[in-house]
A and B are shown apart, each in its own frame.
Chain A
Amino acid sequence: MRILIVDDEPAARHRLAALIEEIDPAGFEIVGEAGDGMAALELARERRPDVILLDIAMREVDGFDVARHLIEPRPLIIFQTAHHQFALKAFDHDALDYVVKPVRKARLASALERARIRLAAPVRGRGWDVSALAGAGQAFGYTPTAPARLLVRHGAGHRLIALRTIRRFSADDAGVGAHHLEGRSLTDYTLADLETRVGAQFVRTSRADLVNVACIDHVASNGDGSLTITIRDDDALRVSRRRAADVKRRLQAPH
Chain B
Amino acid sequence: MGSIIRDALASASPAVRTLVRRILGFCLVALLLQAWDSRDGEGAAGIAELASVVLGISGIGLLGLAHSLHLVMQDAAAKATPGGDGPGVQRVLLAIPAVGFVAGIALGCAVLLMGLRGVLGTEWPLVLLGLVLYTTLTVLAGRVVMGSVQTLFDFATQQAEAAASSRTAATSARLEALQARMNPHMLFNALNTVASLVRSNPSAAERVVEDLSDVLRMGLDWSAQPLKTVDAEVAYVSACLAIDRERWGSALTVNWNVSDDIRDCLVPTFLVQPLVENALKHGLGGRLEGGTIGIHIASLGSDLQVVVEDDGVGFPPAWEDGVGLGNLRQRLHALYGSRASIVVDRPDAGARVDARVPLRRSHS
Where the two chains meet, the residues of A that have a C-beta atom closer than 8 Å to any C-beta of B are 8-12, 14-15, 18, 36, 38, 57, 59-61, 82-83, 85, 100-103, 141, 145-148, 198, 200-201, 213-214, 250, 253-255
Contacts and interface: CB of A to CB of B under 8 A. Distances in A.
Q: What is the predominant secondary structure among interface residues of chain A facing chain B?
A: loop
B288 A38 contact: yes
B284 interface: yes
Given A12-B193, A59-B286, A200 B317 contact: yes
B12 to A, nearest CB: 38
A145 B286 contact: yes
A59 B196 contact: no
B199 interface: yes
Interface in B159-206: 184-185, 188-189, 191-197, 199-201, 204
B196 A61 contact: no
Contacts of A83: 184-185, 188
Interface residues of B, number: 32
Contact of A201 (B285, B287, B290, B318): B318
Nearest to A14: B200
A9 B189 CA distance: 10
Contact of A200 (B192, B200, B319): B319
B185 A146 contact: no
A14 B317 contact: no
Contacts of A145: 281-282, 285-286
A53 to B, nearest CB: 13
Contacts of A57: 185, 189
A254 B188 contact: no
A12 B185 CA distance: 16
Q: What is the predominant secondary structure among interface residues of chain B facing chain A?
A: helix
B295 interface: no
Contacts of B83: none
Interface of B: 184-185, 188-189, 191-197, 199-201, 204, 247, 249, 251, 281-282, 284-288, 290, 312-313, 316-319
22 contacts: A9-B192, A11-B193, A11-B196, A11-B200, A14-B199, A15-B195, A15-B199, A57-B189, A60-B286, A82-B184, A82-B185, A82-B189, A83-B184, A100-B188, A102-B194, A102-B195, A145-B282, A145-B286, A147-B313, A148-B286, A148-B312, A254-B317
A255 B184 CA distance: 34
A196 B249 CA distance: 30
A147 B193 CA distance: 24
A148 B188 CA distance: 27
A101 B287 contact: no
A36 B289 CA distance: 10
A148 B196 contact: no
Given A60-B286, A146-B286, A101 B191 contact: yes
A59 B195 contact: no
A101 B286 contact: no
B318 A200 contact: yes
A51 to B, nearest CB: 20
A100 B282 CA distance: 24
Contact of B196 (A9, A200, A201): A9
B104 to A, nearest CB: 58
A204 to B, nearest CB: 13
B188 A102 contact: yes
A134 to B, nearest CB: 22
